[in-house]
Structure 1
Amino acid sequence: MATRNSGIRGLRSAVAACLGMAAGTFAAMAAQRHTLDAINARLEHLEKRALTQQQANLAMQQRQHWELLSKAMDNPELTEVLDIFAVPVTVQKRRQYLFANALYTNLLCYHRVGNLTRDEFFKHARGMFQNPIVREYWYATRHLRASLKGTEEAELGQMIDDLLLQLDEADTDEWWVIGDPPGDA
């Protein structure tokens, strides 16, 4: 009988040890999970903050871009500094091109900060490029966009090039139906 009680006590001790080990493992896993959740929450916060900071930086850059273009459009001597077009243009045409650049850059910035989807960007651009001066500007700066390969701006520029080709080849005056919006990629 003593051997039997000893065996039961040994079994109870082994079960208790296993339960203790399991409880310890469970507690360690719970603590580890809590730590991982805390790290994940911190990373999400940092990513959100970085995105917000990136958007703020982009907005600041947009504001500076507009201020510089405004100064150039107001002063013919400064406008000459921005004569980067493929063909020589008059001061008046240069100022119009600079304004077209400001319009396009504004649209691009709206897309980059998330205020416009790619589809909405396309639709706004389709309307903007109905203006012949904006189209002239676009064609006069084609050589500048050639260096943007592999960037989102290059993809959007190519999308506009394709749209302009479709608009030029269209046999309808209903420009608002020309081209398929790209959807959001």
Structure 2
Amino acid sequence: AGGVFAGLAIAAGAAGLALQNRLLARRLTLTHQHRLHFDLLSKAIDDPELAAVLDTFEEEVPPVKQRQFLYANALYSNVLHAYRTGSTSESEIGGHLHVICRSPIFREYWEFTRRHRAVLQEGSQEARLGRRVDEIVQNISQLR
């Protein structure tokens, strides 16, 4: 019986290690993808000709405002990355969101990109975080 329990303990330990390895691999993949996204945004912020590629707004957005929106996207993407990887606690995420949502430019960006978020898969992490930002923006707007 002792050998059976030892075998089960080893199997459980191996399964736990495999799960940890999968989680670590996912975090590394998300971090790599986030870095690529940030690099692309940085290039677009620095070069209006590249920023034009990311202009998916239904209204005309002046170049200065477009650069601000790209930066707002970079800020939001950074919080989203922390949320996805679990590198920041839920309360810290909320604090970061409250800070960036205080910016009128961020709130304008958020409104301009509402239709972009409408196509997100309902239960996805990004959709959940987006709804949280919606609530914060709504609360801040009601206070003003």
TM-score by length of 1: 0.74
Kindly report which structure 2 residues correspond to 1:22-101, keeping only aligned pairs within 5 A, or say none.
29-101=1-73
The letter of the residue matching 1:159 is R
**Aligned match of 2:87:** 115
**Aligned match of 1:144:** 116
SS across alignment from 1:85: coil
The letter of the residue matching 2:41 is L
Q: Does 1:164 align with 2:137?
A: yes
Structure 2 Cα separation of the partners of residues 54 and 66 of structure 1? 18
SS across alignment from 1:59: helix
The alignment covers a number of residue pairs equal to 143
Structure 1 Cα separation of the partners of residues 125 and 36 of structure 2? 21
Q: Which runs of 5+ in 1 are unaligned?
A: 1-28, 172-185
Q: Deviations over 1:126-183 (max 9, x none)?
A: 1111111111111100001111122121111111111111111126xxxxxxxxxxxx
The letter of the residue matching 1:72 is A
Q: Does 1:125 align with 2:97?
A: yes
Structure 2 Cα separation of the partners of residues 131 and 138 of structure 1? 11
The letter of the residue matching 1:75 is D
TM-score by length of 2: 0.93
SS across alignment from 2:118: helix
**Aligned match of 1:104:** 76
Q: Percent identity?
A: 36
The letter of the residue matching 1:81 is V
The letter of the residue matching 2:79 is L
Structure 2 Cα separation of the partners of residues 166 and 69 of structure 1? 29
Q: Deviations over 1:108-136 (max 9, x none)?
A: 11122112122211111111111111111
Q: Which runs of 5+ in 2 are unaligned?
A: none
The letter of the residue matching 1:104 is Y
**Aligned match of 1:14:** none
The letter of the residue matching 2:125 is E
